[in-house]
Amino acid sequence: MLYCGIVAKLAGLLRSLTKGIPAWFDEGVAVIVSDDRRYLGPVGLPDRCLISSDEPLPSGMLQWNRRAGEHDSHIYAEAACRVSQWMYGRGGSEAVANLILMVSNGTPFSQAYR
């Protein structure tokens, strides 16, 4: 879990420096790192999602904060679900570290996320 915490801090730092990592991904990682059970099922389940959605999530922090400020707590569950499923399909927290490395080396998020 310490490793994942470091990854979350790096994700936030890189996002603020490069503007390359969308807010929903950063917030989804934060929920997973904190293991916030308001938004996630128990550790060890292949699908930890409590709420899933295919709707677009805010990429910018301004839009994210506006929607979260409207007391839309589902936004955190949706982001955590999306990131959790993505991580599960790509080997766990190492996938986040790899994505961050790729983005920091200039790969667009959309390509690194595929």
pTM, full prediction? 0.79
Closest to 26 in 3D by CA, of 64, 72, 67, 74? 64
CA distance 111 to 107: 7
Helix-helix angle 23-34:74-89, to 10 degrees: 80
Domain ranges of the chain: 2-113
Q: Is the pLDDT of residue 49 over 80?
A: yes
Question: What is the Cα 18 distance to its own chain's centre?
Answer: 16
Residue scoring higher pLDDT (38 or 20): 38
| pLDDT tens digits for range 51-95 | 888 899 999 988 988 888 887 779 999 999 999 999 988 888 899
CA distance 50 to 73: 12
